[in-house]
Structure 1
Amino acid sequence: MDELIDLMKSTERQYISLADNPVPGLAVNIRSVRDELPHVEGMALPGDLKKFWSAWSSVTLFEDGDYGQWGLHFFSVADSRRTTERERSDRPSDFLSSDLVLAEFLGDLELLVMDRSGTSEKMLIALPLESRAHWPVVGDSLTDFLNRYVGSLGRKIWESSG
Structure 2
Amino acid sequence: MDTEISALAGIIDAIRADWSHPRVAMHRMGECPFLLRSSFVKGSGVAERFRALPSCNAQLLAFWGLCATADLFKDEQFGQWGVELLDVTEAHVQTAALSDLRPLDCRDGDVVFGRFYGDSELLVMDASGRVLICGPLDERKDWPEAAGSLVGFLTRLHEAQGAKYWEA
Matches of 1:97 and 1:38, distance apart in 2: 25
Question: Is the contact between residue 125 and residue 132 of structure 2 (CA under 8 Å) also seen in structure 1?
Answer: yes
2:91 maps to 80
Alignment RMSD (CA, Å): 2.1
2:17 to 10, 19, 37: 10
1:50 correspondence with 2:61: yes
- Length-normalised TM-score, structure 2: 0.83
Question: Is the contact between residue 123 and residue 132 of structure 2 (CA under 8 Å) also seen in structure 1?
Answer: yes
Structure 1 residue 156 displacement after superposition: 0.6
1:136 correspondence with 2:144: yes
1:30 to 35, 38, 46: 38
Matches of 1:126 and 1:60, distance apart in 2: 18
Q: Which has the higher contact order (CA 8 A, sep 6+)?
A: 2
Identity %: 30
- Length-normalised TM-score, structure 1: 0.85
2:135 to 123, 127, 133: 127
Change (3 A) 1:132 1:76: same
Structure 1 residue 7 displacement after superposition: 1.5
Q: Hey, which of these two has a bigger chunk of helix by percent?
A: 2
Change (3 A) 1:51 1:45: same
Q: Which runs of 5+ in 1 are unaligned?
A: none
How many residues of Structure 1 are paired with residues of Structure 2 in the alignment?
155
Change (3 A) 1:14 1:145: same
1:69 correspondence with 2:83: no
Question: Is the contact between residue 56 and residue 110 of structure 2 (CA under 8 Å) also seen in structure 1?
Answer: no
Question: Is the contact between residue 40 and residue 53 of structure 1 (CA under 8 Å) also seen in structure 2?
Answer: no
Structure 1 residue 45 displacement after superposition: 3.9
The CA deviation string for residues 4-50 of structure 1, in whole angstroms up to 9 with x for no partner, is: 122133346411223x257732011002223x735237865434323
Question: Is the contact between residue 75 and residue 102 of structure 1 (CA under 8 Å) also seen in structure 2?
Answer: yes
Q: Which runs of 5+ in 2 are unaligned?
A: 1-7
